[in-house]
Structures are given as C-alpha cells and as structure tokens.
Amino acid sequence: MIWSNNQLGAAYYNILTSELFVMDDTYDDGVRFNIMKILYRQCQPRYVITISGTSDEFLTAIEALVKSETSVSSGDSQGMDSARPVQVSLKVMQKKEYSFDRCYHRVRCLKLQSEPADANNVERLIFLQSLLNFKSIVMIHALGLLLIYIDQRWSNITLDPSGRAEFVSVSNVTLRDIVMIDDGTYNALNIVHARHHPSFFKCGDAASQKQSGSLFLLLNRCQSRPGAQFLWQVVGVVLKTLWHPTKDIKVLNERFEVVEFCLNPDNQSIVESLTSCLKHVYRLSNIVLDRYLAQQAKISDWRRLHKTISSIIYIADICEKYRERISLFGKIVGSVTNEVRHVKYFIEHIVNLSAKRTENDFIVRLNVDSHLDKLHHMRSTLPETLARIGEQDMQHLPSSATTCKMVYIPNIGYLLAITEWNRSPADNIDLQNLEFKFVSNNIRYYKSPSAKELDATVGDILLRINKRESHIVLKLVKYINKHSASIFNAIYLCAELDMLLAFHLVAREHNYVKPNMVERQVIAVEQGRHPLHEFLITYVPNDTYSGDGRSLVKILTGPNASGKSTYLKQIGLIVFMAHIGCYVPAKSATIGVVTHILTQITSRGNIALNMSMFLEDIRQINVALHTSTPNSIVILDEFGDGTSERSGLSLLAAVLNSFVERGAYCPHVFVATHILQVVYDKFKTSELSSRLSEAQKQDVATPIFGRLLGSENFDLEELKSLVRQATEPLLAKK
C-alpha cells in the first residue's frame, strides 16, 4: 500500500490462487485512513509492504493497525487453529531504491498466464493497458513495489528456493460496504472535478448550483469548510462522502431521517439555528494542533478554535431535545463531553480573546497566574524604575558627565549610558565603580553596580514573561490535545450535519424525493430527471425500470443529440445520489443497493500513456465484465464507435451476450448505440420480444420495434417513417 496526496493505491497477491488484485487510486483522508483499514481487514495479509518518505501519520496508522490486528488475532486463536497467520510483517522499503520509475517498468514487464500467446512487447503492453488503469499512478507504484518484493523474496515467502511466482490474472478489488466507482465514472457522470475541491472555491456559494459544473457544486450548500470537505472526502467510520458512497442501508436511512426532519416546516427555526452555528465551525486537525504546541498560534487562531468549540456545544444543546428521534443528533450530543465543555471554559478563562490582532506577543489574560501578573506589572513600571536608577547613578558620576540614562540591550543586559560630557574622557578608560563596555554614536556605555543589580533582579523581562506564558499556554494546549479526539469527533459529526442540511436545501428547492432503499435487484424510478440539466434546459422526465421481474438489459437508440447519453447519466446519478444519503430528482424511486457503478463513456485519449480512446473503452469494458455483480449497474455509451462497424458490432454483441447469458446474475445494463443490427439480430426472437408487452404502454417506440421484428428485412427508411408516424401526434398535442 502507498499513500500519496490523499490517494491510496494498493495491490495484493494471493499465493494460493496466484491471482493479483489491484485497487485504483482511491481518496483516503490523512487523519483516519478508513479505506486503508477496510482494505487491510478484508485482505487479511501476511505481509504489508509500503515505502519510506510517505507521511508519518500513514506509517503510524499502518503500524498501529498491524499491531492491533495481530494482538486481536492472537487472542482469538488461543486454544484453536486459526486459518489466518497470527504474525503480520510490516516492511517499509526505501523510496530511493523502489522509485516510481523502477516500479512502473516492473509493471510493464508483468507476464500473465492469460495474455495472448506469442505476443510481442507492444502487444503485451496493449494487453496490460486493457487490464490496468495506468492513470492510477499510486496504484501502479504499489503494484510494481509488490512485484519487485515478490521477485526478490519469493523463496522466503514460500520456502521454495527453486520456484518462481506465477501470475494468473489481474482483478480489481471490491471493498465491502462501499459502492465501487472509478475515476472515469466520476468524470463521465460529472460528479466531481479536481478544480471544484473545497480548497479552491468559496464554501456555500449558492450561485454555484446554477453552473452545472458537477454534482458536487450542485450539492455543496455547506456553511462550513469541514462540511464541504466532508462532502468531498472520507471522514469517519461509515464513509459518508461523494468519493465513497455506502451500501449500508442503516447509514443511508439515518441520513434520510435528518433530511426529512429538516424538510418539515415545523422544524424551520431549528434548522436556521443549526445553520447559524455551523458557519463558525472551522477545520481542526493534528497539524493545526501542532501549531499551538509550537507556540506559533496567533490570537486569531485562538479565536477560531474558541468559535469552533463554542459552536459545536451550541449545536449539541440544540440537538438535545431530539436525540431520541434522530440518530445523528444523539451522536452529536454524545460527542460533546464534559471535557469538551471544559476546554471552552479554559480557553475563555486563560486566553485574552479580545486582544488586538497586532498584539501577538501576550495572549494570557490577567488574574490567571499571580507570578505572571507580577512580571507584567514589573514590565509596565520598568521605564520609571530605570529613570529613577539613572538619576541615582548620576550623583556618583564625575563632573564631566552631564546626562545619563539606564538602558537595556539584549544579550548584554542593563547598562548606564552617558549621553553628554563637558570633557570627553579617553577611550576605553574605566570610571570609578563603572566598567566600560563600548562606544556608539558618541554615547559611552558602562556596567554600573545598579545595572548589575537589575540584571540579577529584573533581567530580560520580556523573556521571563514569554517563558511564563509559554508554560501556561503549553499546559492548556496539552489539555486540549489530550481531549482532541472528542473534539475531532464532534467536528466530524457537525460536518456530516452540515452536509445533510445542504442536501435538504437542494431537495427543497428542486423538489427531490426520498428514495426507498431495498436489498433487492431493482431500479424503479418514476419521472426521473437529470439533476444537472433540468434547470438549464427544458427537460422531459423519464421512467426507468430494471429488475424485480423486468428486463435487466436496456438498449437505447436514436439520432445524435436525442438525449441518449443524458438519460444514461441520469440513471447513474440518481443511483449514486441515493447511495450518499441524498434525495433524488424524481416523482418516486425504489433503488436496490448496488455494489458497482461501471461506465464505458468515451473520453479523451491519453497520449502520454499511448492509449487511444478505443483502448480505454476496452479497459473499462474489461473491468465491467470481470467485476460486475448482479447488483451492479453497467452503462455503455456508443461502445464500438472507436473501430470499424463490423468490429464494433461484434464486440458489442459479445459483451451483451456475456451479460444476458448470466440469467438471474446479470447486472443492470443500460446501452446506447447507433448499431441497430445488435437489436435486430441478437434480440429479435428472445430478449426484446419477451419484453414488448411490459413496455407497450410506456414507450411509443414499442410498436416500431414490434413492426421491425415482424419483418424479414431491416429497412432504415421504414424505421424513419414509423418514427414520424409515432411522434407527429405527440407534437400536435404540444
């Protein structure tokens, strides 16, 4: 496993089956590393390999996980045989020795038993590119690291000094409780774009909903930066983000109940109060706390911390009344412990929050520490003290000295400065009871007995005050750090609440409905709408029915710009929104929990990787064929257009055959194509014929296909005529 820039890439090898498994770059936050933990517990590895140079937090998290899981396994296996080895070895390899270039080259040299026989190097690389997403840089680095480690230590791993590792196939990892979606699908469905990261734009920008840039922009009505980041990234055990939709119906229903509560007009005042408090919740992390520990926090940082803790306490007080009804409210109330309230009290009692922005030297309030108060009093009266002592020393100076003053010079201490003379003495001459130090700008500086006494009693007063303040503030920061876990948890829960309040705003403004999430293989959406297009153009709602007694394979055809791709994306977005706990744009929706949302939607080729658009389409189809389950959604848009018509027809027909032949284990498949011969030849007597009756009252195209199925020859002109006959009455009604 390798973690870089909040992206986790991983690969593992099953010694028993000789299979390789890879996980494309997946967002994993730098605090909790939940994806890493889920992957570890799912794979149950014997060896864990990573590289040096990654963040200390990631390495610490891996070490803690390995130790905790090893101890748990050891405790569980006492007195019984355990199938899982108790001792897990963590190997941290040197980054310089296992650089990306070396690992990338090793992946390009990977030989699989399933590769074509007698393939040359170019053909082998094309074959690998059809299986692996070389755009996932971290995953490629992790896979190369794994392969090199196996090459070097195979005899130690298997205790077979003469053998070599074999690699049968490469498959993608499917994580439990997470709907698996790759980067291509996120981009194809316009769910998120890197330029819309919360670091790059203003949170809660209401105007952004009209820009149709991405689903993230539409949904991001969050009031706080943690809320916007919660919507973007993974924070917490239950994975509640755009990047990681969940399959846990319990979690989804808990989110739905919050949105439903907020949509109730009787709770409007509560929602407004929560929204007002969430505006003052700021991001807090271990890195931010380190700034306080290093005494680098400004008074503005303390104000933000105080506002954040105060706001989460106020939010918990608001939620107290409804903690039994709403699960999330109960969690928020439970997260605000007495220690969190004590932190707020200590900050108010110790830190001078009303100090000016320019006064960053002293932040501890008066009457907090008697010793510090004495030091402050000594500093405030120091000018008068120095003036008095200077007058006293003037009486002991020779008559040639006319004026003097006591001054303080850092690293030297207090000195008597004689500023004017009637007759200047010779240089470097000590006066009686005075020790000459130096001359600067015709001012002579001497160490007098009074100056020595000031060095002993007063000294560097600013340094003494800073040390005392640092001691007090450090004790406060250590107390905060001791209870930081409770504060982090409260902020995390408030961020989730902020996200759900944003969902309720979007649902109210755009008339979304609560989807019914079930464990069956079904998608039933009545009058569904595309969430990003409906308010930009005149959009006609469309129904979607798949599974639960209806056909699982849907083929759409029509002229360019007729809305085929938009309809396919609409299906994917509605299912996606339901799996992040958001209401959906439809009249009603019943959606079965899905394991994957897989798409083949043509995108720009990557010249740097020497991959054409068609090769990328092949890779996406390969992933869909090998990773899809009966509860997956597969969306194919114009597959086969990147090659000849005959080849495209053959490929599309073969893919559809593969899905249809699975029978009850076929996923939800939605296909848009111009290759009508697929419909005519393949489904003339089977799939389409059996479904004409169910679609008779839903689609004006049904009589058209019925007519075509009854004819011996496929006639394009006849198809155009039938389309005109079917659509002219509808246009006349409008």
pLDDT at 439: 83
Query: 586, 528 in Cβ contact below 8 A?
Result: yes
Of 65-74, 314-323, 617-626, which one has max mean pLDDT? 314-323
The number of beta carbons lying within 10 Å of the beta carbon of residue 321 is: 11
pLDDT band with cut points at 50, 70 and 90 for residue 447: confident
Of 92-96, 206-210, 613-617, which one has max mean pLDDT? 92-96
Residue 297 CA from chain centroid, whole number: 26
Q: Which of 243, 297, 287 is nearest to 57 (CA)?
A: 287
Q: How many residues does the chain have?
A: 734
Please give the mean pLDDT across all residues of the chain: 80
DSSP 174-223: --TTB-B--HHHHHHTT---GGG-GGGS-TT-GGGGGS-S-HHHHH---S
Report the range of poorest mean pLDDT among 593-597, 598-602, 609-613.
609-613
**pLDDT surpasses 70 at 535:** yes
How far is it, in rounded angstroms, from Cα 53 to Cα 579? Answer: 36
Cβ neighbours of residue 632 under 8 Å, at least 6 residues apart? 594, 595, 596, 597, 598, 624, 667, 668
Query: Phi first, then psi: what are they for 201, rounded to 5°?
Result: -150, 165
Handedness of CA 246, 252, 254, 257 (dihedral sign): positive
Query: 434, 448 in Cβ contact below 8 A?
Result: yes
Task: Calculate the dihedral angle through the C-alpha atoms of 78, 79, 82, 85, rounding to the nearest 10 degrees.
Answer: 40
DSSP reduced 3-state for 602: coil
User: What is the percent of the chain where pLDDT is above 70?
Assistant: 81
DSSP reduced 3-state for 632: coil
Domains and CATH numbers, the chain: 2-71+88-175 (3.30.420.110), 183-196+211-365+470-510 (1.10.1420.10), 370-455 (1.10.1420.10), 516-677 (3.40.50.300), 687-733 (no CATH)
- The one-letter code for the residue type at 151 is D
Report the DSSP pairing between strands 401-409 and 169-172. unpaired
How far is it, in rounded angstroms, from Cα 195 to Cα 243? Answer: 15
pLDDT digits (tens, 9 = 90+) for 10-62: 999 988 888 899 998 887 877 778 788 888 888 888 889 999 988 888 898 88
Q: What is the average per-residue pLDDT within 667-682?
A: 74
Q: Which of 542, 550, 555 is nearest to 636 (CA)?
A: 555
CA distances from 404 to 379, 390, 391 (A): 21, 7, 8
pLDDT band with cut points at 50, 70 and 90 for residue 237: very low
pLDDT at 689: 38
Report the range of poorest mean pLDDT among 173-187, 274-288, 494-508, 705-719.
705-719
pLDDT digits (tens, 9 = 90+) for 362-406: 778 888 889 988 988 888 888 898 888 888 888 888 777 888 888
Q: What is the average per-residue pLDDT within 607-629?
A: 75
Cβ neighbours of residue 220 under 8 Å, at least 6 residues apart? 198, 203, 204, 205, 208, 228, 231, 502
Burial letters 337-348, b for 16+ CB under 10 A, else e = beebeebbeebe
pLDDT digits (tens, 9 = 90+) for 119-134: 888 888 888 888 888 8
Q: What is the average per-residue pLDDT within 660-686?
A: 73
How far is it, in rounded angstroms, from Cα 310 to Cα 288? Answer: 18
What's the 3-state SS for 124-183? Answer: HHHHHHHHCCCCCHHHHHHHHHHHHHHHHHHHHHHCCCCCCCCCCEEEECCCCCECECCH
The number of beta carbons lying within 10 Å of the beta carbon of residue 626 is: 12
Q: What is the average per-residue pLDDT within 434-461?
A: 86
Q: Select the more confidently predicted residue: 361 or 282.
A: 282
Report the DSSP pairing between strands 47-51 and 553-556. unpaired
pLDDT at 160: 65
pTM reported for the whole predicted model? 0.72
pLDDT at 101: 93
Q: Which of 547, 494, 505 is nearest to 240 (CA)?
A: 494
CA distances from 523 to 529, 585, 623, 671 (A): 14, 14, 22, 15
Handedness of CA 557, 559, 562, 563 (dihedral sign): positive
Cβ neighbours of residue 605 under 8 Å, at least 6 residues apart? 611, 612, 613, 615, 616
**pLDDT surpasses 90 at 516:** yes
The phi-psi region of residue 657 (left if phi > 0; otherwise alpha if psi is between -120 and 50; otherwise beta) is alpha
Report the DSSP pairing between strands 542-547 and 553-556. unpaired
DSSP 406-469: EEEETTTEEEEEEEEESSPPPTTPPPTT-EEEEEETTEEEEE-HHHHHHHHHT--HHHHHHHHH
pLDDT band with cut points at 50, 70 and 90 for residue 494: very high
How far is it, in rounded angstroms, from Cα 624 to Cα 601? Answer: 12
How far is it, in rounded angstroms, from Cα 64 to Cα 260? Answer: 39
Query: 613, 602 in Cβ contact below 8 A?
Result: yes
